[in-house]
Amino acid sequence: MDGLRQRVEHFLEQRNLVTEVLGALEAKTGVEKRYLAAGAVTLLSLYLLFGYGASLLCNLIGFVYPAYASIKAIESPSKDDDTVWLTYWVVYALFGLAEFFSDLLLSWFPFYYVGKCAFLLFCMAPRPWNGALMLYQRVVRPLFLRHHGAVDRIMNDLSGRALDAAAGITRNVKPSQTPQPKDK
């Protein structure tokens, strides 16, 4: 438990959007940042357990901050942060795809949205314990390296078929069916 406390204290000492907001609240209320953070986490957890719209809140948590951080990463001169957030979005997309097929069943489980929110927070956590990087290195990358040739062939085939279909559709349009400009 002391390790978790130290990590939280270290996070609260860093400079980012969350700590800036907590710092402003601390200045206004006189309540320490760590107590404000604990209260926010408690309220968020209770809302995810019992609140209406927990799915929306969980999806906002998984999207809003990562989108903001991704824009900052794009605008920064360093490319390391770009890689971190691209990795997050790959894992987020795969998770969203898996969730699409299992959400109907999983949403009936108690604490589903708390678990989902915890997973998304784990995926966007700062580096040594970043879940997205861990999942990418241990699951996504090995699968990609093993199957990317077959996926590339399928995508090229589908792309060719789509282009052929589009060309066929445009060839079948008769000149009389195309709108003619009106004379003035």
Please check the confidence at residue 22 and state whether its pLDDT lies above 90: no
pLDDT band at residue 4 using 50, 70 and 90 as cut-offs = low
Q: Would the pLDDT of 178 be above 80?
A: no
Amino acid in position 147: H
The pTM score is 0.68
What mean pLDDT do residues 103-110 have? 79
Lowest mean pLDDT of 9-18, 60-69, 131-140, name the range.
9-18
Q: Which residue has the tokens 């997205």?
A: 132
pLDDT confidence band for 154 (50 / 70 / 90)? very high
Please choose, from the candidates 57, 68, 52, the residue with its C-alpha nearest in 3D space to the C-alpha of residue 18.
Answer: 68
| Residue-level pLDDT at 179 | 62
- Would you tell me how many other CB atoms lie within 10 Å of the CB of residue 119? 15
* More confident of the two residues 111 and 156: 156
Asked if residues 137 and 127 have their Cβ atoms less than 8 Å apart, the reply is no
